Chains A and B, each alone.
Chain A
Amino acid sequence: MLCSSVELGGKFLYGFLSPGEISQRLSCSRREFLRGATGAVLGSALASTSPFVHGQKAQQKRKIIVITFGGGARDQETFAPEGQENIPYLLNELAPQSSFFTRVTNHGILGHYVATASLATGVYETLNNFSAVPPDHPTVFEYFRKDLRRPLSDAWVVAPSNGFNRIGESGYRSYGSGATVILPKHLLQAATSGSGHNLDHLLRDNYEDPLYTPVLKGNDLELNQLDRILRLSVDDFMAHARTLSSPDELSVYIAKRLMQQESPSLLWITMHDMDIAHSGAYSLYIEGIRRTDRLCAEIWNAVQSEPEYKDNTTMFILPDFGRDADLDAGGNGFQHHRTGDAASRTTWMMALGKGVREKVIYDQPIQSIDLVPSLGAIMGFSPQLAQGKPIKEFL
């Protein structure tokens, strides 16, 4: 006996569409879902006046936090209806306060370090993804500090380890004074060195190629960061680390500590847990997404509870790119981001906080390299060598 009809997903239609059409469909699906879930309106229906205050004094107080997901997440595990159970915080707490850009494409190399470097420079970088080399073009941190004459303490990056330790400043002549990069896993490694603490679960590294797990190194210089900058004793740091379950939780703990102690105006946090997808275990990938979802809300709550940040901060959340589609024969679905298909190149961005229109969805295509020129427009610096364009909604 047959009964209870279930609506067809229609996913195989994607096989007959061009990459541009697929990208547009992904965007539309995010838009329709968010409109339904949050009651958001389309940005095209709004007047074009900028919500941002561009006065010099306002800009001096302005804080920017950028959160990138190093380890893309696909729609079907996030903003598509079947993925909503994985992102309750992004969906129910943050999206209703945000402007949501449904169609962000990355036309560069889909490796996490090189893609994050591209996000930070506004240029599609071509450096070796697995090498600890600086970006070729000036970073947002260098533009910010040079143009606005900000001190070193005003720009920070909290990043997973591997090559990310060079992402704070470029090798570009006439620039080169950028952000301090703090690598929480290196800090932990330095703090635990030889002590026998069982904190290896916080030291996972390099999901992008799970066959390769380089030895992490921490040193006295990094321990000095604990004491001098974060005002943390090794014992207190270790005591807190024991309560955490993943590298991203450690990163967020350090980021919150930085916000309390240094209050940087430009803080860039790169999360990495969901990239465990490269091991092929779907349940672990989903766990990573759920954890990242919760941590984004945790950072936003920290913004609200810190006087230096509350009502003064604009926060951007975006994956560096997506992951391969299930139906692309060149890949293996969620596991990697190697095909360059539309699903792996198309993602989204959420902006919320100071000066951002709430519950607005923007459908027009933007590129991931547009972020830096947009930050320049908001903060009042000029990223001259960036190749992206300022997102007009921020002008």
Chain B
Amino acid sequence: MKPANLKPADFSKYSPEARGLIIAHLQAIRQLPLSFLPNLLREAIDYDFKFPAERSEIEKELEVISRLSSAEREDWFRAFAQVTLTPELEGADWVNQPSRFAEQESAYLWTTHQQDTFRETATAYGARMRAASPPSELPVKRLGIAIIGKGVSSYNAPLFRNLRAHGTYFGKVKSDRGLQVLIDAVGERAMANPLPYGHWYVDGGEALEHDAQITCMSYNNLERARTALLRKMQGEIQRPGMGPEQLRTDLAAMKPSDLGMEKIGDPVLDRFQLKVLTEGSGTQIFSTTFAQWSARDALRRAQPLTLLVRFAPRQRMRPMNELLSDSRITPELDPVGSLVDADMGAYYHWINQQRLPGASQSAFIAWFEDHEQAVAVSPSLPRGVEWVSQISMEELLKMALN
């Protein structure tokens, strides 16, 4: 199948809204090179289960592509058209299995030393698309909050070393009620700016009580799904001929109902959580990885106005086979190792937030739970300095959002 030969009926297996969107832009889609198109379809095929921000981005991308003149289209996609593919890839069912195609294409590009060129081409395309479709102004400053170190009574090594250079370090935060103040702040922002999937709370352990308008996911709440997934993986690994690539393909084909997740009742969030567990390495076994990866993907996909991530102690390192197999045994925890993981996770949270529209106005707070140390990054705060006076969490929040 060549893109030029695409017909509306070829998308009959797509969900209704995705099919409608693709068919509306089919004329432009037919002109796209094969090295590029399945990567676009990979996003569009799940359109019905995407967050509003993602849906908007897909719509805008297709609109921009459709608006291009022939000469502009030639210019935009010339480098993609020069990528060579194999007859096997050209003959694959890339319409219905675009993710599988993208994986195989990636492997082929690495093998033929085309990966670096493809990467440069894709980066340039992304920059062009952003320039052609500037983001809308945010209704409120974006706010990220990372709470790290639950369960650690004392820690003497310096924290927030990566973040300090970009913001103000606070060494005397009044820690009583700090957690509640931050969770309440997320709730207040959700009430003031009620957007679907606009305000998130991710907990690496058990989620605390929170406002109903907040999108929430927690490691503990997904325990049954994680157990079911690990059991499935154990079974798959034992199968003759199974390898890591096949396992990945099988996991990518799973649906929320395969892990009993449909009972949560939000098909978009169900799919998101499924992908966190099946696409994120380590999210099934380490709560710190779960929290970090969830934050990364929530920011990348849902682009929330508020994201609070609370890290919790992960289980201590054990042999990988054991981690995968005996999930019902109460594991020994590693609070200090988890604090180190979460410190880096907080830094990545901020980096991922800074990739989103409105970055220059965004605020970010990382706090060592129940302790006096915190760092805040905000255009209203100086960088690379320390605030030496005592401060309450309410005051710190106000300064960051000023």
Contact with A along B93-119 (1 / 0, CB 8 A): 000000000000000001111011001
- Asked if B314 contacts A213 (CB within 8 A), the reply is no
Is B344 a contact partner of A334 (Cβ separation < 8 A)?
A: yes
Q: How large is the interface on B (under 10, 10 to 19, 20 to 34, 35 or more residues)?
A: 35 or more
Complex interface: chain A residues within 8 A of B111 (CB): 109, 126
In the assembled complex, the Cα of A9 lies from the Cα of B347 at a distance in Å of 14
Q: Check B389–A1 contact: CB distance below 8 A.
A: yes
Q: Is B237 an interface residue (CB 8 A)?
A: yes
User: Is the pair A332, B165 in contact by a Cβ cutoff of 8 Å?
Assistant: no
Tell me the bound Cα distance from A189 to B337 in angstroms. 29
User: Which A residues lie within 8 Å of B318 (CB)?
Assistant: 200-201
Q: Which residues of A contact B284 (CB under 8 A)?
A: 211
Q: Are A284 and B337 neighbours in the complex by a CB distance under 8 Å?
A: yes
| Min CB gap A395→B, angstroms | 28
Taking chain A's interface residues, is the majority helix, strand, or loop, or is none over half, making it mixed? loop
Q: Counting chain A CB atoms within 10 Å of each CB, which of B111, B343, B355 scores highest?
A: B111
Q: A2 near B243 (CB under 8 angstroms)?
A: no
CA distance A149 to B309 in the complex (A): 62
Q: In the complex, what residue of chain A is closest to B289 when comparing beta carbons?
A: A280
| Cβ–Cβ contact A282 & B341, under 8 A | yes
Whole-angstrom distance between the Cβ of B264 and the nearest chain A Cβ: 23
Q: How far is the CA of A8 from the CA of B244 in the complex (A)?
A: 41
B402 to chain A, nearest CB (A): 15
Nearest CB of chain A from residue B300's CB, rounded to whole Å:
8
Interface centre among B284, B348, B383 (most CB of A within 10 A): B348
**Alpha-carbon distance A201/B317, docked complex (angstroms):** 9
In the complex, which residues of chain A have a beta carbon less than 8 angstroms from the beta carbon of B336?
A: 283
Q: Which residue of chain A has its CB nearest to the CB of B385?
A: A2
Question: Do B282 and A210 have beta carbons less than 8 Å apart?
Answer: yes
Contact of B385 with A6 in the complex, beta carbons under 8 Å: yes
| CB contact list, B343-402 vs A, under 8 A | 343-345, 347-348, 351, 355, 382-389
A207 contacts which chain B residues (CB < 8 A)? 320
Interface residues contributed by chain A, number (CB under 8 Å): 55
- Is the beta-carbon distance between B281 and A124 smaller than 8 angstroms? no
Chain B min CB distance to A245 (Å): 10
> With contacts A200-B321, A211-B233 known, is A6 near B164, CB below 8 A?
yes
Residues of A within 8 A of B293 (CB): 280, 332
User: Residue on B with the closest CB to A111?
Assistant: B110
Given contacts A130-B243, A200-B319, A214-B237, contact A281 B385 (CB under 8 A): no
Asked if residues B355 and A210 are in contact (CB atoms below 8 Å), the reply is no
Q: Does A82 contact B (CB under 8 A)?
A: yes
Could you tell me if A283 and B281 are in contact, using CB atoms closer than 8 angstroms? Answer: no
Q: Does B348 contact A286, Cβ atoms closer than 8 Å?
A: no
A7 to B161, CA, bound (A): 12
* A199-214 Cβ-contact flags toward B at 8 Å (1 or 0): 0110111111111111
In the complex, the answer to whether B319 meets A203 with C-beta atoms within 8 Å is: yes
Nearest residue, chain A, Cβ from B108: A126
Asked if B385 contacts A4 (CB within 8 A), the reply is yes
A254-297 interface bits toward B, Cβ cutoff 8 Å, 1 = contact, 0 = none: 00000000000000000000001011111110100000000000
Q: Which residue of B lies closest to A9 (CB)?
A: B165
Q: Is B340 part of the contact surface with A, judged by Cβ < 8 Å?
A: yes
Write the nearest CB–CB distance from B398 to chain A, whole angstroms: 16
* A1-B388, A327-B351 known; A281 vs B243 contact (CB < 8 Å): no
Establish whether residues B165 and A6, one from each chain, have CB atoms under 8 Å apart when the complex forms. yes
Name the one of B110, B165, B281, B389 contacting A335, with C-beta atoms under 8 angstroms.
B281
Tell me whether A5 is interfacial, beta carbon within 8 Å.
yes
Once the chains are docked, how many angstroms separate the CA of A281 from the CA of B373?
22
Q: Is B55 an interface residue (CB 8 A)?
A: no
Residues B24-43 near A (CB distance < 8 A)? none
B168 within 8 A of A: yes
Q: Once the chains are docked, how many angstroms separate the CA of A214 from the CA of B348?
A: 31
Q: Which of B343, B347, B386 contacts A326 (CB 8 A)?
A: B347
Closest approach, in angstroms, between the C-beta of B329 and any C-beta of chain A?
A: 14
Of residues 208 through 238 on chain A, the ones whose CB sits less than 8 Å from some CB of chain B are 208-215
Contact of B237 among A4, A6, A200, A213 (CB under 8 A): A213
- What residues of chain B lie closer than 8 Å to A329, measured between beta carbons? 355
A4 near B386 with CB under 8 A, answer yes
B129 part of interface (Cβ distance < 8 Å): no
Do B119 and A330 have beta carbons less than 8 Å apart? yes
Residue B303 lies at the interface, judged by CB distance under 8 Å to chain A: no
Chain B nearest CB, measured from A7 CB (Å): 7
Contacts of B321 in A (CB 8 A): 200, 203, 213
A131-B243, A279-B286 known; A200 vs B322 contact (CB < 8 Å): yes
B244, B289, B334, B386: the one within 8 Å of A209 (CB): B244
Q: Check if A3 sits within 8 Å of B386, measured CB to CB.
A: yes
Which residue among B244, B280, B345 has the maximum number of chain A CB atoms within 10 Å of its CB?
B244
Cα distance A8–B344 when bound, in Å? 18
Q: Mark A303-335, 1 if CB is under 8 A from B, else 0.
A: 000000000000000000000001101101111
A281 to B341, Cβ gap below 8 A?
yes
Q: Chain A residues with Cβ under 8 A from B340's Cβ?
A: 282-283, 286
User: Is residue B247 within 8 Å, beta carbon to beta carbon, of the partner chain?
Assistant: yes
From B245, B283, B389, name the one whose CB has the most chain A CB atoms within 10 angstroms: B245
The smallest C-beta distance from A4 to any residue of chain B, in angstroms, reads 5
A205 to B119, CA, bound (A): 30
B388: which A residues are within 8 A, CB to CB?
1-4
Q: A130-B245, A209-B248, A326-B351 are in contact. Are A280 and B386 (CB under 8 A)?
A: no
CA distance A8 to B336 in the complex (A): 27
Indicate the member of B238, B337, B383 with the most A CB atoms within 10 Å. B337
A108 to B343, CA, bound (A): 32
The CA-CA distance from A210 to B319 in the complex, in Å, is 11
Complexed CA–CA distance, A211 and B252 (Å): 13
Cβ of B334: which chain A residues have Cβ within 8 Å of it? 283
**Is A326 a contact of B348 with CB atoms below 8 Å?**
yes
Judge whether A8 and B383 touch: CB under 8 Å.
yes
Inter-chain CA distance A211–B320, complex, in Å, is 9
Across the interface, B387 reaches (CB within 8 A) one of A2, A110, A126, A286, namely: A2
Shortest CB–CB separation between residue B274 and chain A, in angstroms?
14
B306 within 8 Å of A (CB atoms): no
A-B contact pairs, 14 of them (CB 8 A): A7-B165, A200-B319, A208-B244, A212-B243, A215-B237, A279-B281, A279-B282, A279-B289, A280-B288, A281-B341, A284-B337, A332-B348, A333-B344, A340-B119
A-B pairs, top 8 by smallest CB distance, nearest first, are A280-B289, A283-B340, A279-B282, A212-B244, A280-B282, A200-B319, A283-B337, A209-B244
> Contact residues of A with B, CB < 8 Å?
1-9, 19, 82, 107-110, 124, 126, 130-131, 200-201, 203-215, 276, 278-284, 286, 326-327, 329-330, 332-336, 339-341
